[in-house]
Structure 1
Amino acid sequence: MRRRPLRALCLLTLTAPLLTLAGCVEVDGRGAALAPHYAQPFVSVAPVAPAPVPTGYDAKADAAGAVAAALARSRRDGRPVLVEFGASWCVDCQALAQRTTEPAVRLLLQRDYRLVTVDVGHFDRNTALAARWIDLKRSGIPALVVLNPDGSVRATTQDGSFAGARTLSSDAIAGQLVAWLYPVHPSSRS
C-alpha cells in the first residue's frame, strides 16, 4: 500500500520542476504544486489591413503612377514596395504569379509588402522605369526590386535569381521575401 503514494510523490517531485520551467505550474517552497496558471499569449500587435496582391500584368496601367502611389502608402505604414517587372507571355512570370496565390507567399505579400506588377511587354514597355533600379537584359524577367518607404533600393534580383521562377517552390519564394524583410548585416554575423 505504501508504494502508490510513494510513486505519486516521486512522479510529482520529478515533473514539478519541468512543469515549473515550462511555466505551467507553480510550486511552493516544499515542492507542492500550487494552482496552475497558463502562459500568456504573445503581445498583440496592431492589425494590418491586407495589401492587394496583383497576379497579372496590365499593359495599359500607369506603372510609374502605381509605383509612386505604393511608395506614398508605404511611407504611411512602413511596408516596403515590391516591384515585379514581367510580361504575360513569360512562363516564369506566370509561374511566379501562380506562387503568389499560395497561402504562405500570399500572406507575406498582403501583410508585409506593397506589390506592384509592371508589364514590360517584349522589353518595349516600362523599360525606363525598370532602368531606374535594375538592368532587365542582365536580370531577365521576372525581375524584382524591393524599395524602402523612402524610395531607396533594399534589394533586387539583378543576379537573375527569379528569372527561373518556375523552378522555385513557394517555400523558396516565401523564404526570400522574409530575408528581404530582415536582412543580415555583415557586422552581425559571428
Structure 2
Amino acid sequence: MNRRRLILTAAAATAAAQPALAAKPAPRLSVKTFAELKTPLPLPYDEAADARAVVDRARAQARRQGKRLLIDLGGNWCPDCRILAGTMALPEFDRFLKTHFVVVMVDVGRFDRNLQIPARYGITGRLPGVPALLVIDPKTDKLLNPGNFSALSNARGMSPQALADWVAGWAA
C-alpha cells in the first residue's frame, strides 16, 4: 500500500509541475546532466536593480513583441536558481527563450526583497521556494501559472531537459 501511495504522490507531483498543455516543443538540450553545465554557474540576479522598473520595461517589450513575460524570482545564494540560470544559458535554450519570452530576473534576497513583484500577481506571504517562475500575459498582466510557479524550486531534482520542457509548456 505504501508503494502505491508513493507512486500516486510522485505522479501527482509530476503533473502539478507541468503546465496544462504544452504550447511549443522544447528545444533538445545538448547536456543530459547538470554536471555538464559551464561552471561557475551564473549569478543571475542583480541585487541593486529597481525590480519594478525592470519588470515594467520587460512587460512593455513582451507586449510589443507578442511574447510572454517570464519573471524568474530567486537569489544568487540559491543552488536551484543558479542551476536553472545555467541551463537557460545553453545556446539552444537561450534561443528558444528569446523566441517565445521576454525573461527578467528578480532578486528576492532571502525572501525579503522585491516581494511587491509576486504580490502584483496575487502571491502574498512567503514564497514556497525559489526559483519561482511567473508566466505573465503581457496584454492583461495576468499570471498564467498561479498553481505551479514554484514547480522548479527543486531544479536539482530534475534533469536539464525537464526544466526546458516545463518552460516550453508555457510558451505562446
Question: TM-score range, shorter-chain basis?
Answer: 0.5 to 0.7
Q: Which 5+ residue runs of structure 1 have no aligned equivalent?
A: 1-53, 183-190
Task: Report what 1:25 is aligned to.
Answer: none
Query: Residues 106-161 of structure 1: CA distance to partner in whole angstroms, max 9, x if unpaired?
Result: 12111111000000111111012222223573531110101112111122464631
Q: Give the aligned CA root-mean-square deviation in angstroms.
A: 2.0
**1:92 matches 2:80:** yes
Count of equivalent residues: 129
- Bigger relative contact order, structure 1 or 2 (CA pairs below 8 A, ≥6 apart): 2
Aligned-partner SS, 1:139: coil
Aligned-partner SS, 2:167: helix
1:33-182 matched pairs, under 5 angstroms: 56-133=44-121, 134-135=123-124, 137-150=126-139, 151-156=141-146, 158=148, 160-181=150-171
Whole-Å Cα distance in 2 between the matches of residues 82 and 57 of structure 1? 14
Q: Which has the larger radius of gyration?
A: 1
Q: Which 5+ residue runs of structure 2 have no aligned equivalent?
A: 1-41
Q: Which residue identity lines up with residue 139 of structure 1 in the other structure?
A: P
Larger displacement relative to structure 2 (173-182 or 65-74) = 173-182
Change (3 A) 1:60 1:109: same
Whole-Å Cα distance in 2 between the matches of residues 138 and 75 of structure 1? 26
Q: Percent of aligned pairs with the same residue?
A: 36
